[in-house]
Amino acid sequence: MTADRAAAVALDEADPLRRFRERFVITDDDLVYLDGNSLGRLPIAGRRRLRRLIEREWGGDLIRGWDSWIGLAREAGDMLATGVLEAEPGEVVVADSTSVNLFKLAAAALDARPDRTVILTDDDNFPTDQYVLAGLAAARGLRLRLVKSDLDGGVPAEAVEAALGPDTALVSLSHVAYRSGAIADMHRITRAAHAAGALTLWDLSHSAGSVPVPLRSAGVDLAVGCTYKHLNAGPGAPAFLYVRAGLQGGLRQPIWGWFGQRDQFAMDSTYDPVDGIERFLVGTPGVLGLTAVLEGARLSAEAGIDAIAAKARSLTSYAVELVDGWLAPLGFDLASPRDPDRRGAHIALHHARAWQVVQALKDANVIPDFRTPDRIRLGFAPLYTRHVDVYEGLARLHAIVTAGTHLGYPEARTRVT
């Protein structure tokens, strides 16, 4: 590949997913959107389905709409299980937020290992994950043990193995690192955790819909993830949780609610959870959000996760080539793995004035993301990001820094994480 627009156009012409871009709402052709790993674009099918839901079902059917809405959490979960994640129907359900689901599953896992005292995670795991785990440890008199992670390379499997012991109850990590896009070795880490007698809980927020997630083949116990990034379900859309089928009957989550009750409409005052994945539900689901999740997951399933992952590798590899040729001489360093098989669908660039560069890029109609310390995060959503978008975004970045335009922006007062 060469650093010219014609090469990007040729890659796009050969892209088997190129037609999927037409299935998203795009209102500004000049905008280079490189933040789909934080908030995905609106699918046209999702907009259509939500309009029908609001106008016909909610507007016309009123409460009678629950005849079709009541099973949406499981329906959306099954779509994710079979079309996006390597899981079985009945192992995934959509509910609550990622943080709440992490709390529910971590608490259930700790209850299943009552004689163990350590929760293991890494020091670069997403902050909320660390907060939730630290809160559980503090409330139960347990210890949160942090494995040293590489900011650019992710969590080393050997470091996790060295930190495991007979006191470890739970290992909770992110599959794809939120900062660098590094992919953790799910197979090796899960195998090591099981050998030590611990359960595993993976955060799939940056991997679901961007890379294969080997839940079944790796023997993963538990997982959570959000739906508004690569799954394009919209801002604040409900998250999902995964519980391996063989574990479901032996775990009881800490928030007992009527949607997890065996016969919820009997209104019995005694809690008796259902046998399946629905026992991890709590309260009345958000029907609008669940509908958007279902449509977003359906689009990813149609494209196929292998094709999506192949496009992600192509986009990030092309970006790395442009970084090496254009941006390295200007003080930029790649802050992500160079091996495309160890990257998700985003990369990070280190620059001493990253915050200012990001502000200048936004004014140039390029939307990236800033992450500490001094990282520019570039997210490439394979369903609608083109190679020509990568070319144009990095060309504008090169022009900004060459001209020194970014130096006219104030330095950040608050470092956003």
Known catalytic residues are 126, 203, 228-229, 377
Distance CA 123, CA 173 (A): 10
Distance CA 17, CA 340 (A): 19
Q: How far is CA 337 from CA 114, 264, 312, 342, in A?
A: 38, 48, 14, 6
Q: What ranges make up the beta strands (E) of 213-324?
A: 222-225, 240-243
Bridge-based pairing state of the strands 199-203 and 168-174: parallel
Q: Which pair of tokens denotes residue 404? A: 């020194």
The Cα angle at residue 331 between residues 367 and 379, in degrees rounded to 5:
25
Helix-, strand-, coil-residue percentages of the chain, each rounded to 5: 45, 15, 40
Distance CA 362, CA 376 (A): 12
Q: What ranges make up the beta strands (E) of 67-213?
A: 92-94, 118-122, 143-147, 168-174, 199-203
Q: Token pair 């990622």 is at which residue?
A: 98
Q: Are 24 and 380 in contact (CB under 8 A)?
A: no
Distance CA 126, CA 137 (A): 17
Distance CA 205, CA 231 (A): 10
Distance CA 310, CA 340 (A): 10
Q: Are 242 and 88 in contact (CB under 8 A)?
A: no
291 Cβ contact list (under 8 Å, min separation 6): 46, 49, 50, 53, 72
Q: Token pair 């892209």 is at which residue?
A: 15
